[in-house]
Amino acid sequence: MKTEKIDDILKYYVPSCMDKVVAYETEKSLEMGPPSEEYLEKMNRLVKRMRWKEKYFIPVKTSQRIVSAILVFLVTATVLTFSVSAIRNKVFEVIHVVYEKYTMYQYELQEGNVGKFVPMYPTYLPEGYRERTMDTGDNYSLQDYYNETTGKSIVIDEERIEDGTRIYEDNEFITEEKQERDGIEYRIGIKEDEIVIVWEKNGNSIALGSDLMDKETLLQVAAEMKTK
Amino acid sequence: MLMMYLSLIEDEGDQIKFEQIYHAYSRLMRYRAYQILKDEYLAEDAVHQAFLKIINSLDKIVDVKCNKTKHFLVVVVERVAIDLYNKEHKIGSVSFEEYQEMRHLGENEDMTEKAGLNEVEEIIYKLPTPYRELFVLKFCCGYENKEISKVLGIKEGTIRQRLVRGRKILMEELKGAGLYEDGKD
């Protein structure tokens, strides 16, 4: 052992050390009491949001699927965005990677400040839709509007774009199109029973998903979202 | 259909990766955070914040159940907990030297005996946290400096410096214990 290079020591002993420590701590953690209701509620909301995001944008349920993903191309683009709360402009480099099943957009902040997250809310909703869930965190907002009569819902997930933010989009839509309204590009994906619209505004990435199969109505909801 | 999906209680096989990680490790993460913060509510906050950080690293987690994943999660929650500790103790901008003094926060238990560490492992475990967390991410998780920089929110240059310094400290400690000699490799 004495003559091994320091990196060889690190490669061997760091994992063995941490395996033992984590095994011990895992056992000790079983002695802990239950967490607070508030924590459970917060974590459940986070899990629920991630379920929704994975359903539409991270179609990766198993590790095998990541491993088998095929990198088609990689492009970078510089995007200038403005925040409603920040005076300074923000410049992001967006790494755009297309895999077999999904596309990843990774944002890397080049200059400026991401500013404070200011969520937007729909000012127009089709008849019969009422708020069912409103979960707003420091940098995200999940809104769910539900129509009791039809059983259909409109779910809106908003996220502040920060350094390192990754947005995933499903590549498995039956049809895809882009529409521009008031200078904003809306990417629309249509599946058999769901429509997803994705766009960026005020430094946020917004995704609207619904089983209401009416593209024009959903686009109107998207276009008429505003800050309070 | 959409809401049915959201309200489904699925079995483990259908759980999304994020959910699997939450169910498998949130208790361990809460324990780790509590060891640093000594406050259950703050520990819960740390776990929640750690999970928000993990969202952007989900694709790096290939196998939920492997030790590599555990180590990564422990490092993330540990870092969040230390930041929270600093905030709670009004340490606005803690210097690196001050930060090092916190290295044994929550590590007052005799891990050598309890976890069965050998001499070398004990020296590694007792390294200051800023060095140990880098070694864990690099040598347990296989991360490049750029990835570590994203996970910990530290500049790449600082990471390089700390890795050099950490190796030096480790070498000195090992030498001091008679476990390492120069020039024979």
- Residue pLDDT, tens place only, B54-73: 887 887 788 888 888 999 99
Average pLDDT over residues A194-206: 89
Maximum mean pLDDT: which of A97-111, A139-153, A159-173, B170-184? A139-153
Average pLDDT over residues B100-126: 76
Band (B31; pLDDT cuts 50, 70, 90): very high
Gap from A18 CA to chain B (nearest CA, Å): 7
pLDDT of res. B102 = 55
Contact B43, B30 (CB under 8 A): yes
ipTM for the predicted complex: 0.84
Output the average pLDDT for chain A. Answer: 78
Average pLDDT over residues A189-197: 85
Please report the residues numbered 1 through 60 in chain B whose beta carbons come closer than 8 angstroms to any beta carbon of chain A: 1-3, 5-6, 14, 16-19, 22, 26-28, 30-32, 34-35, 40-41, 44, 47-48, 51-52, 55-56, 58-59
- DSSP alpha helices (H): ranges in chain B? 2-7, 17-37, 40-54, 67-88, 96-101, 111, 119-125, 129-135, 145-152, 156-176
Nearest-angstrom CA–CA distance, B33 and B40: 9
Among candidates B116, B71, B78, which has minimal Cα distance to A18?
B71
pLDDT of res. A57 = 52
Maximum mean pLDDT: which of A45-54, B25-34, B82-91? B25-34
Band (B85; pLDDT cuts 50, 70, 90): confident
- Helix, strand, coil percentages for chain A (3-state, nearest 5): 25, 40, 35
Please report the residues numbered 56 through 95 in chain A whose beta carbons come closer than 8 angstroms to any beta carbon of chain B: 58, 60-61, 63, 66-67
Beta bridge partners of A106: A95, A166
Task: Say what the pTM is.
Answer: 0.66
What six digits make up the tokens of A152?
């259909």
pLDDT of res. A4 = 57
pLDDT of res. B91 = 57
Contact A151, A137 (CB under 8 A): no
pLDDT of res. A44 = 86
Q: Which of B27, B70, B136 has the CB atom closest to A14's CB atom?
A: B136
Residues comprising chain A, all counted: 228
pLDDT over threshold 60, residue B141: yes
Nearest-angstrom CA–CA distance, A151 and A156: 17
Residue B90 touches chain A, beta carbons under 8 Å: no
- Helices A37-56 and B17-37 pack at an angle, to 10 degrees, of 150
- DSSP alpha helices (H): ranges in chain A? 6-29, 37-56, 63-67, 215-223
pLDDT tens sequence across A69-128: 333 333 334 444 443 333 346 677 777 777 766 677 778 787 777 788 999 999 999 999
Average pLDDT over residues B35-52: 92
* Residue B46 vs residues A32, A109, B26, B27, B67: alpha-carbon distances, Å: 16, 25, 11, 12, 21
Contact B75, B130 (CB under 8 A): no
